[in-house]
């Protein structure tokens, strides 16, 4: 940085590498070699992560309402205690030896995916703010660059004060990030299913976030 | 400038790309409020890589070499503070010398032949200085839309996953006449286009070498195993 005469330092724009679409041919091996089911830690293993098992189902569609097949979603979430397995998360909430929080899935020909995981815990952020339980999604598909969004649960009281959800002023648009509980009554321990339609473009477009550094 | 902080980008639609037209959000992206912005970007568990995964020219070590011109792509990956992005997963994939992907989706729309000795995908981890090196076959061009004679120029896909960073991009080759007619290349702002073209470097073991350095927008924190193991 080179200060000019009045002491003002112009912002330096690093030579960032531009993003591009993932295209139609992202190798299946790259999906298969990452976790896809965070409830099942390994085949035939009796251990499970702590917390309530859930199944999140989503249907991805485009502007004309057609399903988007072969779309890649990377999920990232806190464990049941609201702790991320991430070097920057210095909270005192415990890690869960059975839970890493990252999964990578591909949509089927009908644009749907089904993700078995646990309901994440709430966690503090910034000055006195509480993040409601949510899943973080990074979305890749042919024709689009990387998209990110966050998904909430409709039976969660903390949604009312979540700072990210409520940064979207229009309640109708905000509601597009809230997954609907599909399981009215469950036996103890059974997974609760939540469903969400994700619309990439059009009148019912899902809100996506800009996570580039300011 | 205030607007840029309170509202996010509007995404560009790729001209003549029907999938881009149908799938690109039309609404300005929402910016996460600064006081709710935490750095916990996806941090996948590091997969166990096998030897030779960064050599796409053979489907396994010791097997015959794939058809076409072998090329080495190497470079350094740094973050927004220009610090090395260490021990981070890089995934690479590209078409074969005939312009055909091994992916089943390419089977119905591309009559170029498969190469029995080329799958066209590989992985590696960057070293402690953020450096990487991969050997592949220079991909062929292929047609994207016959009705408007749109050809994709030779290009190699890159995915970088790590703490604080996520990037998917495509690297092009220099002096390819198709670059300047490719709508996916042209959607890159003009001043940034040199950043997605490999720069020729000294050949290595008979293969041409292209240098492709990557600068990520995130601020990388080197994950230390000790940080992650006390669960």
**pLDDT of A211:** 85
What is the percentage of chain A residues whose pLDDT exceeds 90?
83
The residue in chain B having the minimum alpha-carbon distance to the alpha carbon of residue A174 is B30
Q: How close B36 comes to chain A (CA, Å)? A: 6
Contact B22 A64 (CB under 8 A): yes
Cα distances from A61 to residues A112, A193, B163, B185, B219, in angstroms, run: 9, 20, 30, 26, 32
- Mean pLDDT for the stretch of residues A83-96: 91
**pLDDT of B229:** 39
Provide the token pair at B51. 């030897």
The answer to whether B158 and B118 are in contact (CB under 8 A) is no
Find the catalytic residue in B101, B119, B132, B172. B101
Instruction: Give Dmax (Cα) for chain A.
Output: 71
The residue in chain B having the minimum alpha-carbon distance to the alpha carbon of residue A22 is B168
The residue in chain B having the minimum alpha-carbon distance to the alpha carbon of residue A142 is B19
Provide, as residue numbers in chain A, all residues whose Cβ is less than 8 Å from the Cβ of B170.
20-21, 23
Q: Is A134 on the interface with B (CB under 8 A)?
A: no
Contact A34 B196 (CB under 8 A): no
pLDDT in tens, B55-101: 999 999 999 999 999 999 999 999 888 899 998 999 999 999 999 99
DSSP characters over A134-198: -EEEEEEETTEEEEEEEEEETT-GGGGG-TTGGGS--HHHHGGGEEEE--SS--TTPPEEEEEEE
CA A115 to chain centre: 11
Q: How far apart are CA B94 and CA B113, in angstroms?
A: 14
Contact A163 B25 (CB under 8 A): no
Residues 50-109 of A with CB under 8 A from B: 62-64, 66, 68, 70, 74, 76, 78, 84-89, 94-97, 100-102, 104
Contact A85 B21 (CB under 8 A): no
Tell me which of A8-17, A28-37, B179-188 is least confident.
A8-17
Q: How far apart are CA A114 and CA A107, in angstroms?
A: 9
Average pLDDT over chain B, rounded to an integer: 90
The answer to whether A119 and A81 are in contact (CB under 8 A) is no
Taken in order A176, A182, A183, A189, the sign of the CA dihedral is: negative
Residue A40 has pLDDT above 50, yes or no: yes
- Mean pLDDT for the stretch of residues B182-186: 98
**pLDDT of B221:** 60
**pLDDT of B99:** 98
Q: How far apart are CA B177 and CA B37, in angstroms?
A: 43
DSSP A202: S
Backbone φ and ψ of A52, nearest 5° = -85, 125
Model confidence at B44, in pLDDT bands (50, 70, 90)?
Answer: confident
DSSP A46: -
Contact B40 A19 (CB under 8 A): no
pLDDT in tens, B194-220: 999 999 999 999 999 999 999 998 876
**Count of CB pairs separated by less than 8 Å, A with B:** 231
Residue A39 has pLDDT above 90, yes or no: yes
What is the percentage of chain A residues whose pLDDT exceeds 70?
93
Q: Which residue has the tokens 């035939």?
A: A44
Contact A213 B219 (CB under 8 A): yes
- Which of B168, B191, B219 to mutate: most A Cβ within 10 Å? B168
Model confidence at A23, in pLDDT bands (50, 70, 90)?
Answer: very high
Which of the pair, B15 or A187, is modelled with greater confidence?
B15
Q: Is A168 on the interface with B (CB under 8 A)?
A: yes
Q: Is A30 on the interface with B (CB under 8 A)?
A: yes
Residue B7 has pLDDT above 90, yes or no: no
Model confidence at A12, in pLDDT bands (50, 70, 90)?
Answer: low
The secondary structure of chain B, three-state, reads CHHHHHECCCCCCCCCCHHHHHHCCCCCCEECCHHHCCCCCCCCCCCCCCCCCCECCCCCCCCCCCCCCEEEEEEEEECCCCCECCCCEEEEECCCCCCCCCCHHHCCCCCCCCCCCCCCEEEEECCCCCEEEEEEECCCCEEEECCCCEEECCEEEEEEEECCEEEEEEEECCCCHHHHHCHHHHCCCHHHHHHHECEEEEEECCEEEEECCEECCCCCCCCCHHHHCCC
Contact A27 B91 (CB under 8 A): yes
CA B211 to chain centre: 13
The residue in chain A having the minimum alpha-carbon distance to the alpha carbon of residue B212 is A17
Model confidence at A1, in pLDDT bands (50, 70, 90)?
Answer: very low
Instruction: Give Dmax (Cα) for chain B.
Output: 58
**pLDDT of B6:** 62
Q: From its phi and psi, is residue B16 left (phi > 0), alpha (psi between -120 and 50) or beta? A: left
**pLDDT of A3:** 46
Which of the pair, B18 or B164, is modelled with greater confidence?
B18
**pLDDT of B121:** 98
Which residues neighbour B197 within 8 Å (Cβ) at sequence distance 6 or greater? B171, B172, B173, B174, B179
The answer to whether B65 and B96 are in contact (CB under 8 A) is no
CA B53 to chain centre: 16
The answer to whether B95 and B101 are in contact (CB under 8 A) is yes
Residue B146 has pLDDT above 60, yes or no: yes
- Mean pLDDT for the stretch of residues A176-193: 90
- Which of B36, B60, B211 to mutate: most A Cβ within 10 Å? B36
**pLDDT of B35:** 82
Contact A23 B23 (CB under 8 A): no
**pLDDT of B41:** 77
Q: Is B164 on the interface with A (CB under 8 A)?
A: yes
Residue B5 has pLDDT above 60, yes or no: no
Q: How far apart are CA B76 and CA B222, in angstroms?
A: 15
Contact A129 B36 (CB under 8 A): yes
Residue B102 has pLDDT above 80, yes or no: yes
DSSP A66: -
Closest partner residue to B22 among A14, A143, A145, by Cβ? A143
Residue in B196, B201, B167 with CA at minimum distance from that of residue B180: B196
Which residues neighbour A48 within 8 Å (Cβ) at sequence distance 6 or greater? A39, A40, A41, A98
Contact B169 A19 (CB under 8 A): yes
**pLDDT of A189:** 82
Q: How far apart are CA B167 and CA B164, in angstroms?
A: 10
Closest partner residue to B25 among A66, A94, A200, by Cβ? A200
Which residues make beta-bridge pairs with A130? A124
């Amino acid at each position: 940085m080179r200060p000019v005469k009045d002491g003002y330092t112009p912002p330096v724009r690093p030579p960032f590498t531009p993003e591009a679409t993932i295209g139609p041919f992202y190798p299946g091996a790259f999906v298969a070699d990452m976790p896809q089911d965070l409830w099942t830690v390994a085949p035939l293993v009796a251990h499970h992560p702590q917390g309530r098992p859930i199944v999140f189902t989503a249907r991805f569609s485009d502007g004309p309402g057609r399903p988007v097949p072969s779309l890649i979603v990377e999920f990232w979430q806190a464990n049941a205690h609201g702790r991320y397995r991430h070097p920057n998360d210095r909270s005192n909430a415990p890690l869960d030896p059975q839970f890493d929080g990252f999964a990578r899935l591909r949509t089927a020909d009908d644009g749907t995916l089904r993700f078995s995981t646990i309901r994440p815990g709430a966690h503090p952020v910034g000055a006195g703010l509480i993040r409601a339980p949510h899943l973080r999604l990074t979305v890749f598909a042919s024709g689009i660059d990387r998209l990110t969004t966050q998904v909430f649960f409709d039976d969660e009281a903390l949604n009312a004060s979540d700072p990210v959800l409520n940064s979207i002023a229009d309640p109708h648009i905000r509601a597009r990030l809230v997954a609907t509980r599909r399981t009215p009554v469950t036996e103890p321990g059974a997974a609760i299913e939540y469903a969400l339609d994700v619309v990439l473009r059009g009148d019912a477009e899902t809100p996506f976030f800009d996570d580039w550094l300011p | 400038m205030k607007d840029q902080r309170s509202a996010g980008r509007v995404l560009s639609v790729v001209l003549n790309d029907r999938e881009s037209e149908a799938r690109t959000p039309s609404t300005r992206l929402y910016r996460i409020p600064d006081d709710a912005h935490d750095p916990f970007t996806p941090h996948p568990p590091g997969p166990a890589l096998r030897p030779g995964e960064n050599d796409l020219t053979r489907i396994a070590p010791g097997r015959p070499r794939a058809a076409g011109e072998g090329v080495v792509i190497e470079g350094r990956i740094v973050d927004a503070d220009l610090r090395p992005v260490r021990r981070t997963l890089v995934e690479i994939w590209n078409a074969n010398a005939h312009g055909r992907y091994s992916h089943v989706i390419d089977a119905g729309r591309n009559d170029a032949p498969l190469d029995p000795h080329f799958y066209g995908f590989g992985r590696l981890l960057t070293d402690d200085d953020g450096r990487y090196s991969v050997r592949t076959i220079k991909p062929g061009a292929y047609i994207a839309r016959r009705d408007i004679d749109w050809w994709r120029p030779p290009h190699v896909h890159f995915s970088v996953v790590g703490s604080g960073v996520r990037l998917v991009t495509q690297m092009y080759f220099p002096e390819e006449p198709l670059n300047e007619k490719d709508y996916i290349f042209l959607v890159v702002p003009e001043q940034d286009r040199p950043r997605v073209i490999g720069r020729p470097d000294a050949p290595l073991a008979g293969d041409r070498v292209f240098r492709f350095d990557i600068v990520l927008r995130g601020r990388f924190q080197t994950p230390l195993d000790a940080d992650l193991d006390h669960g």
